[in-house]
Amino acid sequence: MTKVLVTGAAGFIGSHVVEALEADGHEVTALDLRWGDDVRDAAVLGRLLPDADVVVHQAAKVGLGVNVADLPDYVSVNAYGTAVLLAAMAAHGVGRLVLASSMVVYGEGAYDCARHGRVRPGPRSAEDMARGSFEPRCPRCGEGVVLAPIGEDAPADPRNAYATTKLAQEHLAANWARETGGTAVALRYHNVYGPRMPKDTPYSGVAAIFRSALEAGRAPRVFEDGGQTRDFVHVRDVADANVAALTGGVPGSLAVYNIASGQPHTVGELARALAEQRGGPEPVTTGEFRLGDVRHIVAVPHRAGAELGFHARIAFAEGMKEFATAPLAEPSRHRSA
């Protein structure tokens, strides 16, 4: 039995992680800002960490946010909060960390150009998207490119405050591991969905936004042309990945893993699947766009299988059938992951 401190334990993903850890026989101590315990509070950590063997760090401000006014909060919760946690872990001799990271650190996904091979397009311009030209092009020749799955060794290219601070968490964890000899594992979640997603909030994922609209009798509003590709992975699979990560990694370093289903779908397919399971209304494709969004990002999840023994079990159709009627959580102003 391992003694595990879970931060963000009352959140969407964190609550499932707690259940999975307890089902696997581990002793869990839960920390969450909703209960008055802040990961940025060294005194709280000093009370909880001496009894822990490992920290599973889920607490975060999530989503793309609304505008640049969110920047200080993202940095405070995600970057500074992680720094306080790692310093406290070092002070109390806790030598293992499982970090909830995200596929957003990659930015745009990987692509192949017929002339130039593997390329990484830069951010799409507002002008292109305003005229309905959503697909990235080769940054060298400007020709069309073909989507390719992205592996963990791809260079990071964060495109928004959330992505930047998640990458900062990884860098801080790597620094902590090198200096203390600790073991750090970062799980780069792809698009997580499932029961207890928060409803009616711009800080949630697209699956929850569509699901909230359908519950209210509104048609899901699909941005761009609905052709954006993602890997939607069920929250219980993500929780299982956290359990598997308890014994992963190498002392003195950070190991990173894509946590994904390996079966990509478009955002339009997601909206249609949820609408079909709930009996409508049908999605509406709006052509609207957000500059912080990327067009396509799908994963190569093989490393997690080979090194952690993790394989997603819940298929898209099965997960959508459950999620279409599963209860959603009331949004928290603290927005833990």
- Distance separating alpha carbons of residues 242 and 248, to the nearest angstrom: 10
pLDDT band, residue 204 (cuts 50/70/90):
confident
State the residue for tokens 């609304």: 66
DSSP labels for 199-229? PS-TTS-HHHHHHHHHHTTPPPEE-TTS--E
Q: How many CB atoms lie within 10 A of CB 334?
A: 15
pLDDT band, residue 202 (cuts 50/70/90):
low
* pLDDT of 330: 81
pLDDT band, residue 307 (cuts 50/70/90):
very high
- Full 3-state SS string of 114-182: CCCEEECCCCCCHHHHHCCCCCCECCCCCCECEEECECCCCCCCCCCHHHHHHHHHHHHHHHHHHHHCC
* pLDDT of 174: 98
Q: Which residue has the higher pLDDT, 247 or 36?
A: 247
CA distances from 15 to 49, 99, 151, 163 (A): 19, 15, 28, 22
pLDDT band, residue 336 (cuts 50/70/90):
very low
- In this prediction, residues 182-195 reach a mean pLDDT of 97
- The per-residue pLDDT for range 161-174, each reduced to its tens digit, is 999 999 999 999 99
* pLDDT of 64: 66
Using alpha carbons, select from 45, 159, 180 the residue that is nearest to residue 106. 159
- The per-residue pLDDT for range 275-286, each reduced to its tens digit, is 999 999 999 999
* pLDDT of 69: 86
What is the token pair recorded at 292? 């912080």
Whether the model clears a pTM of 0.85, i.e. scores above it, the answer is: yes
Check if the beta carbon of residue 286 is closer than 8 Å to that of residue 130: no
Q: Which residue has the higher pLDDT, 335 or 18?
A: 18
DSSP state at residue 97: E
- The per-residue pLDDT for range 30-83, each reduced to its tens digit, is 999 999 889 999 999 999 999 999 999 999 998 766 678 889 999 999 999 999
Whether the predicted pLDDT of 334 surpasses 80: no
What is the token pair recorded at 275? 């609408």
Share of residues in the chain with pLDDT > 70 (%):
96
- The per-residue pLDDT for range 146-160, each reduced to its tens digit, is 999 999 999 999 988
pLDDT band, residue 312 (cuts 50/70/90):
very high
| Helix (H) or strand (E) run with residue 241 in it | helix 235-245
Q: What is the SS3 assignment for 57?
A: strand
| Range in 79-83, 106-110, 290-294 the model is least confident about | 290-294
Task: For each of the domains in the chain, give its residue range(s) and CATH number, in order of start.
Answer: 3-110+149-325 (3.40.50.720)
- In this prediction, residues 113-131 reach a mean pLDDT of 94
- Distance separating alpha carbons of residues 226 and 272, to the nearest angstrom: 10
Looking only at the bridges linking them, the beta strands covering 221-222 and 183-189 are unpaired
pLDDT band, residue 337 (cuts 50/70/90):
very low
Whether the predicted pLDDT of 233 surpasses 50: yes
In this structure, which amino acid lies at residue 77? V
Whether the predicted pLDDT of 219 surpasses 90: yes
